[in-house]
């Protein structure tokens, strides 16, 4: 599998103008669009590129941001109730870090914090009033839940070098990956300093019947609700008719 990607990266470099070839970092994706259709079980997109002058590569993949509420349930009076909650804003729907060596050996803590590299450095602003003692535990619970869902990669992914200049990495997305625009940040690091960086977009979107249904539900919620109720009523009437004639 290595030779085809090496050839692809080499062709990319040959196609670039002389000024671009002088850059310290050039990176791209095999595809900038992932289409989610019926039966989608996840996919992989290959990041490939080249560097000039040596160094290490760190990649940060972040999905579309949204507000997320984390709730804690307590057992009261024989039933489980939501007793406390914390809302976080700008939460990435997907998050992963990949690197050519352990990130701690490549970048100092201040740079990892600045560029939100690693879960400890991921900025998750609090969107609601909350006790300061609650923020840490609820933040940890949010990250753990995203990891269980496969949307936050627990382990740092691998960036592989093909020789001294060319590199590649596989970006893996689960079946539950949210739709939207993704940001793939690529950093070239030498002796603890970022010498070059590049951001590449990736769009994940629904296509086909599911996309049409989702668009109808989002843009015409009243009609969508009426249709859903009508279909449910018809299904109930049909079941009753079948049982009466059984």
Over residues 119-136, the pLDDT tens digits come to: 999 999 998 787 778 889
**15, pLDDT greater than 50:** no
Q: Are residues 117 and 27 part of one domain?
A: yes
Task: Please tell me the distance from the alpha carbon of residue 106 to that of residue 56, in angstroms, as a whole number.
Answer: 7
Q: Are residues 200 and 98 part of one domain?
A: yes
Measured N-to-C along each axis, helices 221-244 and 209-219 cross at an angle, to the nearest 10 degrees, of 120
Domain that holds residue 233: 209-246
- pLDDT digit string, tens, across residues 196-223: 999 999 999 987 545 444 444 455 556 5
Structurally, the chain folds into a number of domains equal to 2
Q: Are residues 155 and 217 part of one domain?
A: no
Q: Are residues 112 and 224 part of one domain?
A: no
The DSSP output letter for 156 is P
Mean pLDDT computed over 6-30? 63
Task: Please tell me the distance from the alpha carbon of residue 30 to that of residue 13, in angstroms, as a whole number.
Answer: 14
- pLDDT digit string, tens, across residues 38-76: 888 999 999 999 999 999 999 999 999 999 998 876 655
- pLDDT digit string, tens, across residues 142-169: 999 999 999 999 999 999 999 889 999 9
Q: Are residues 99 and 59 part of one domain?
A: yes
């Amino acid at each position: 599998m290595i030779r085809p990607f090496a050839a692809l990266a080499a062709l990319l470099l040959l196609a670039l103008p002389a000024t671009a070839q002088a850059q310290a970092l050039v990176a791209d994706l095999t595809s900038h669009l992932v289409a989610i259709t019926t039966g989608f079980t996840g996919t992989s997109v290959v990041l490939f590129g080249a560097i000039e002058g040596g160094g290490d590569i760190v990649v940060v993949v972040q999905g579309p941001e949204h507000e997320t509420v984390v709730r804690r349930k307590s057992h009261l009076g024989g039933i489980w109730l939501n007793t406390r909650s914390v809302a976080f804003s700008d939460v990435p729907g997907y998050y992963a870090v990949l690197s050519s060596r352990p990130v701690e050996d490549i970048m100092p803590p201040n740079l990892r914090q600045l560029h939100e590299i690693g879960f400890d450095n991921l900025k998750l602003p609090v969107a609601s009033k909350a006790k300061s003692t609650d923020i840490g535990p609820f933040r940890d619970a949010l990250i753990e839940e995203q990891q269980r869902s496969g949307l936050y990669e627990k382990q740092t992914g691998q960036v592989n070098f093909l020789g001294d200049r060319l590199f590649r990495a596989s970006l893996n997305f689960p079946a539950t990956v949210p739709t939207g625009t993704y940001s793939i940040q690529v950093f070239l690091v030498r002796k603890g300093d970022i010498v070059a960086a590049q951001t590449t977009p990736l769009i994940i979107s629904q296509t086909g019947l599911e996309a049409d249904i989702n668009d109808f539900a989002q843009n015409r919620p009243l009609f969508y609700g009426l249709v859903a109720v009508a279909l449910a009523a018809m299904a109930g009437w049909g079941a009753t008719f079948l049982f009466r004639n059984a």
